[in-house]
């Protein structure tokens, strides 16, 4: 029997966001001023400004409110979403031929979902099963697909021409659409909480980005692009890792998660 396909508006909304880029992302800056990885800078800066406004008025206030929750609750929520993300990690480690890592991810899912009370407690890390961070964009990079131009996606933030379509695959390798396929309202609410939780983890990192460049747009672009390549290479340094120390600090702050 063919499994049911999750009936949720979120992947369609994501596809529309990517289509938005396809229709309006052709605006570019003059060739003499064009950054090699950012031919759509004029469009990207406009979307960046929109995202910054949305962050200031909606996400950041919500994240500050979230940070007022007791630490054990915040930790439990973060672990819960991290446990669901381990399914995506396991799938992509299989796609990349990293079978040992995929087995570790599977062990984490089983242990944290059962002993860890549906993932609220990260038991797996305490017994030596390390957490990985993989997505389909990284898988495409491992397969040799170039990153392509840098993109700013409305509401979603930094991406590339390779990574933006991969978000749709990431959606369908996440367990929530299948578990909650008949409860779209719950699914949307869960996604909203996840976004706020991620934004809360990045509070306080804005000043660190400012050390990379005085232009916030350039700072985010350079740090994000280098971190993506860092993840594709599984942490192996490259000759042009000019901001590697800053990226490691940003990784600790979880500014991009």
Following CA atoms 208, 213, 140, 124 in sequence, which dihedral angle do they give, to the nearest 10 degrees? Answer: -10
pLDDT of 196 higher than 80: yes
Residue 20: pLDDT over 70? no
Cβ neighbours for 97, distance < 8 A, ≥ 6 positions apart: none
For residue 185, what are the contacts with CB-CB under 8 A and spacing of at least 6?
A: none
pLDDT at 169 over 90: yes
The 10 Å Cβ neighbour count of residue 21 is 21
Confidence of residue 13 (pLDDT cuts 50, 70, 90): low
Task: Tell the residue number behind the tokens 């800056």, with chain if given.
Answer: 29
> Any long-range contacts for 40-49 (C-beta under 8 Å, 24+ apart)?
40/149, 40/150, 40/151, 43/152, 44/150, 44/151, 44/152, 44/217, 44/221, 45/152, 45/217, 47/152, 47/153, 47/154, 48/152, 48/217, 48/220
Q: Which of 121, 37, 134, 152 is nearest to 95 (CA)?
A: 134
Residue 159 bridge partners (DSSP): 151
Strands (E), 84-220: 150-153, 157-160
Paired tokens of 176: 């929530």
- Phi, psi angle pair for 249, to nearest 5°: -65, -40
Asked if 145 and 9 count as a contact pair (C-beta separation under 8 A), the reply is no
In a 3-state reduction of DSSP, which class is residue 31? helix
Is the Cα dihedral 234, 142, 131, 107 positive or negative?
A: negative
Place of tokens 């993109």: 151
- At residue 70 the predicted structure's pLDDT band, cuts being 50, 70 and 90, is very high
Distance (Å, whole) CA 99 – CA 95: 9
pTM: 0.79
CA atoms of 252 and 207, how far apart (whole Å): 14
**Percentage of the chain surpassing pLDDT 90?**
58
Tell me how far CA of residue 190 lies from CA of 77, 166, 201, in angstroms.
Answer: 11, 21, 17
User: Which residues are within 8 A (CB) of 246 and not within 5 positions of it... i.e. 6 or more apart?
Assistant: 208, 211, 212, 223
User: Is 90 exceeded by the pLDDT of residue 24?
Assistant: no
Average pLDDT, the chain: 82
pLDDT in tens, 110-160: 999 999 999 999 999 999 999 999 999 999 999 999 999 999 999 889 999
């Amino acid at each position: 029997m063919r499994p049911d396909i999750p009936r949720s508006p979120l992947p369609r909304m994501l596809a529309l966001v990517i289509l938005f880029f396809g229709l309006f992302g052709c605006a570019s800056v003059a060739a003499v001023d064009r950054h090699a990885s950012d031919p759509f800078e004029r469009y990207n800066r406009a979307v960046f400004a929109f995202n910054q406004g949305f962050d200031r008025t909606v996400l950041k206030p919500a994240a500050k409110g979230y940070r007022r929750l007791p630490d054990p609750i915040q930790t439990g929520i973060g672990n819960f979403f991290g446990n669901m993300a381990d399914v995506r990690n396991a799938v992509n480690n299989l796609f990349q031929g990293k079978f040992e890592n995929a087995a570790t991810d599977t062990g984490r899912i089983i242990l944290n979902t059962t002993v860890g009370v549906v993932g609220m407690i990260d038991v797996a890390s305490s017994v030596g099963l390390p957490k990985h961070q993989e997505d389909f964009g990284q898988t495409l990079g491992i397969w040799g697909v170039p990153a392509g131009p840098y993109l700013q996606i409305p509401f979603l933030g930094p991406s590339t021409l390779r990574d933006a379509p991969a978000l749709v695959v990431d959606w369908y390798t996440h367990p929530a659409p299948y578990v909650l396929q008949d409860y779209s309202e719950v699914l949307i609410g869960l996604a909203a909480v996840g976004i706020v939780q991620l934004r809360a983890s990045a509070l306080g990192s804005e000043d660190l980005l400012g050390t990379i460049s005085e232009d916030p747009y350039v700072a985010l672009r350079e740090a994000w692009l280098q971190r993506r390549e860092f993840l594709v290479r599984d942490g192996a340094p490259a000759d042009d890792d000019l901001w590697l120390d800053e990226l490691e600090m940003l990784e600790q702050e979880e500014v991009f998660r």
